[in-house]
Amino acid sequence: MTYSITGFSYLILFFVLGYLAHRFFQYWKKEKDTISKLWFYFAVIIEIFVFIKVIGGLFFANNPAFLKITLDAAAFIQAFALAILAYLLAYIKFPRISPWVAFIPVFILGLIATILTAIIPFNPFLEPSRAINWGFPSSMISFATSVLRVFLFTTIFIPLIFVLFPQIKTSKDLYVKGKILGLSIVLLSLPLITLLEFLLINILKLDPILRDIGIIIFSITLFITLVLTRKTVR
């Protein structure tokens, strides 16, 4: 078995997101509303996405064919997760409009990104730093796919941050403040990691270990935030 730092970084993220999913589940049981249910669904879907990365990074780091399969599967799951967030954003911001108006186009764009990912001839390999280089080929299709995925992340996550963050100032409930702060960290960090993964490492040929370090820093930051706000849960 050949391990990779990438696999370990995603494993850390997997455990932290599992804790986050548990918090969402508790919140769902308490509130019993659509918003808390959608956040829980999103967390579970992202957990599946990360789990696929963990399996590939820990057990198949030297198996390009399997790593390619993980890329394709992760792209599809990511598309579904982003569609859930689009549904949530529309549900919160535009209550008079059916949220499916946001879900369907985002999911279709996500499927297009998945299909493009599947036809791109990636050649994953293990760097000397033991980080997985996904082997993005230098082609217009590869660049367009990267731009599309980053576009989907930023057009959904950033508006959600602007919707949620003002509640930190207006709410007097410490639990609500901590929950929104944790969500803001997730929503701000994931697009940055995606940008690093799909554009900067591919175009500037940076060492992929930077992506893994970013994932570890993000995981630790999120875990500390969750722990510090845990005592306020009622």
Residue 62 falls inside a structural domain: yes
The CATH number of the domain holding residue 111 is 1.20.1070
Domain range enclosing 87: 5-229
The count of C-alpha atoms lying within 13 angstroms of the C-alpha of 138, restricted to the half-sphere facing its C-beta, is: 5
111, pLDDT greater than 80: yes
Residue 234 lies in a domain: no
pLDDT for 69 beyond 60: yes
Amino acid (1-letter code) at residue 124: P
Residue 131 inside a domain? The answer is yes
Using one digit for the tens of pLDDT, what is the confidence trace for 43-59?
899 899 899 999 999 99
Answer whether residue 234 shows pLDDT above 50.
no
> Does residue 194 register a pLDDT over 90?
no
Query: Measured between alpha carbons, how far is 139 from 145 in angstroms, rounded to an integer?
Result: 10
DSSP assignment of the chain: ----HHHHHHHHHHHHHHHHHHHHHHHHHHH-SHHHHHHHHHHHHHHHHHHHHHHHHHH-TT-HHHHHHHHHHHHHHHHHHHHHHHHHHHHHH-TTS-THHHHHHHHHHHHHHHHHHHHS----EE-TTSPEE----SSHHHHHHHHHHHHHHHHHHHHHHHHHTHHHHH---HHHHHHHHHHHHHHHHHHHHHHIIIIIHHHH---THHHHHHHHHHHHHHHHHHHHHHTT--
Rounded to the nearest 10 degrees, what angle do helices 174-195 and 209-230 cross at?
180
Question: Do the domain assignments include residue 28?
Answer: yes
pLDDT at residue 168, rounded to an integer: 58
| Number of domains within the chain | 1
Residue with more model confidence, 71 or 168: 71
pTM: 0.84
Residue 63: both structure tokens together: 């198996």
Averaged pLDDT of the chain: 82
